Structure 1
């Protein structure tokens, strides 16, 4: 026979590995003591849910804070960009103004070339004839009209300086005029402030005078009220003194302590502020009523003692009956226990006989330890 190297089926091996991994995971899940006994940890799941909600809420708050920060940064960037554009426009405007005033094209040195004002060249034949070939300093086309050009430049510079001086004087006059206007405005503001201070001082003085008058009127009114109150209080005190002198309290009138009541029946009512004490008849009536109440109280106490004696006898009879009943119940319990012991002994004898039958005749083939180890080894 020939030895052939056959290719191994990788899909079959992968399927076998997947089944082995699934079996191993299932075995761990089924034989895990924690999951089998405790089950799902509900508290841990609730805590995880709460933590996740808190984390999501914190992320939302952070996102909102970042959005607000981005909006504020964008607003600041736009404001800065607008300021930068405004400053750039101002600088460009100032540069254009400066160029228009101090860098005009017609004031430059080559303005005659740019504006085609160059004069026709003049031949200086005498100069050319007086100079030899080796000592020539002026060539044809050079130095033509130099004096006129310098004179034109000087006039141009003079005009430029005059224009600059006039512009500077104009600026100074304008600045002086503005300072004069500002000074006048400040002077008017100072005068207005002085007038307002004077008016305020006058108003304050008038308020103080009015307040002083009001306080004086209030003081006079209070003095008059105090005088009237003093007169009224003195009158009330004199009336009270006169009433006390002429009242029944000092005259010791016993009839003043009683007065007739309202209604059809005539009743006597005692006035505490005028009562002078009880009469002998009233005292004797009170003593007689007190003796009657004491006798009635003594009769009630005799009746209560008789009731207590009868109740004690009744309780004694009930206690004797209860003792007799308890003795009879103890005798019955003793007999019941004797019968129960006999029954238990009979059951124990029957159980021993049955156990001997099981051990000697029925269960003769005892299983080994290997028999019990074959259970619970697989998840299937």
Structure 2
């Protein structure tokens, strides 16, 4: 802090001037160093004033809304109270009307109550009390011909009629029982006759079956005797045929192994397979000679193949030696080329290192430090 007690008036003015300059410089730096404010050019004071006005407008609107809500709540409360009061008065009026009707407008006091009396019919006399009722005139329509005026006589006649009906039903039942018994006896007699007839038919059927079985037995015995004779003749013929077949087989060319029968008509060297019994001694000797000749020929072919294989191996070994010498010559040339490239790289590296030392020590001796770059953007001027 400044020691204002030891400062003169001129120093105070100078200090106030410096302070104002510093404040303006800080505000200027805020405007210049802020890209948004510098490029777009926003008026912060105007924006703040607009924000303040908007806040005031919002607060005023909220205040008006609160007042409106309070008035609306009060109006609702008043409307509810008036509605409750109106409902209470309406119920009171309806109660008074009901009391007046109960006291001064009773149903039995009405002029036309006799027409609407629910017990009016119960209070009236019936249209007909008895047959001697004086109210029953010709036009009363209450007494007619054929009515039950003689109840006792009617009941007596009905009892007699019921007794007659019961007697008739008993007679009919006895008659029906007799007829049923007669029908049962007739049915039993028919069943007995039917059973006797069935027994007679069964006996007849058994007799027929017995006779038929006897006839079948005699016929089967005759067939068996005939079959025995036939089988005996057939066995005799089969035995004779087998003997002839055995003799023919023993004397046939197949078992005697006649070589002439195996010769085919298709050619001198063709044989019939199922008649061929093998080769002769001359044929076997000829085949053996041919096999020995083939063996000698195979030995010659084997020796020729071995000789050719040896020549090929010698040629292959000479070729491999030539290729090996060529590979060694190529590796020698590659080593010399790698040495030459290494010497060239070493020379270039030495030149590059000398050039870097020259640039660092002579050309770029005065290199910029961090202090040089930090001096920028310190003020707005």
TM-score normalised over the length of structure 1: 0.39
TM-score in terms of structure 2 length? 0.39
Structure of larger gyration radius: 2
Whose RCO is larger (CA < 8 A, sep 6+)?
Answer: 2
